[in-house]
Amino acid sequence: MRLQVLENGFRPLQKLILSFIKAMSGGHVAGPMLVMSYRRELFGKYIVKCYQEGMRAAKHWTLGEVETFAAFVSNLNKCKF
């Protein structure tokens, strides 16, 4: 289910940025990116910080290994990003 607000409920600057992303990615913006962009001040910037902290703070793996794990899981889930 896609929320209608995630299709057109963005502020002008966010719309511009998302249209650039859409143009660069072949006409598609990933759902998680839309969710994290909508009302960023309430949710997006905090959850992104949490994700970054969780993934980058892993002491047992290098940054390259973490990115490889993320790409592998995304591929298993048939994600395009």
HSE (side-chain half, CA atoms, 13 Å) at 36: 12
| Helices and strands: H and E segment counts in the chain | 5, 0
Closest by CA position to 79, among listed 38, 36, 25: 25
Domain boundaries, the chain: 5-76
Could you tell me the two tokens for 44?
């997006």
Per-residue pLDDT of the chain (81 residues; tens, 9 = 90+): 566 766 677 788 888 888 888 888 888 887 777 777 777 788 888 888 887 787 777 778 888 888 888 889 888 888 765
* Residue 27, C-beta contacts closer than 8 angstroms, at least 6 positions apart: none
pTM: 0.52
